[in-house]
Structure 1
Amino acid sequence: MEIITTQNAPAAIGPYVQGVSTGKMVITSGQLPVDPQTGIMSEAIEVQTHQSLENVRAIIEAAGLTTGNIIKTTVFVKDLNDFAAVNNAYEAFFKRHGTVFPARSCVEVARLPKDAMIEIEAIAVA
């Protein structure tokens, strides 16, 4: 198992790593919508969704894969009333990168670290 780290995604805020690789599979930790350059988190759910996905992408790419290798995502949202806005940003992200949509789960949670509105994790396969 190889630990994946990149400056292009926020550093872990606890006792975990950004991602791990088994050689054929990359699994990311949940990515908050924190801009890794500024440490800032937008208040708009669409921007938060995009940033979480960009952070996932950075980890996948640090492992030598692309968004096209992502086979599964899990989306944690603070409010399912944001589902349509999350879907729009999620769809735009994958279309912009020219990839098929991966399998996905989306669940509402009571609270996320840093009071984020969304957190996204992914599994990618070489």
Structure 2
Amino acid sequence: MVQHPGARLNASFAALSDATRRGILEQLGRSDASITDLAEKFHMTLTGMKKHVGVLEQAGLVATMKVGRVRTCKLGPLQLEEETAWLERYRQLWASRFDELDKVVEELKQKEKVNGRKK
């Protein structure tokens, strides 16, 4: 199956759009955890936590490993370089727009000063 070039980016941002999933990533950044431990920490059912972990896993943000009856989660292989680059392009765009806006505001302040002195 051919994937759309932006499919990975879409999956990452969709996974990151949920506060619980972002919290799971924060938790896993501190240490690996079982789905049961995560469910308890987030006051959630096992089924609910499995769904959240599944979304993160599909996006490549989390990897799981089952040993016996315990499924352990850890941060996945995805390093978010593509997502970071996408965000940086928009950060730069908005920074330049705000710089231009600052120039306009400064020009208006200067005109106001000059016009205020003439009266």
Structure 1 length-normalised TM: 0.27
Per chain length, whose mean CA-contact separation is higher, i.e. which structure has more relative contact order (CA < 8 Å, sep 6+)?
A: 1
Larger radius of gyration: 2
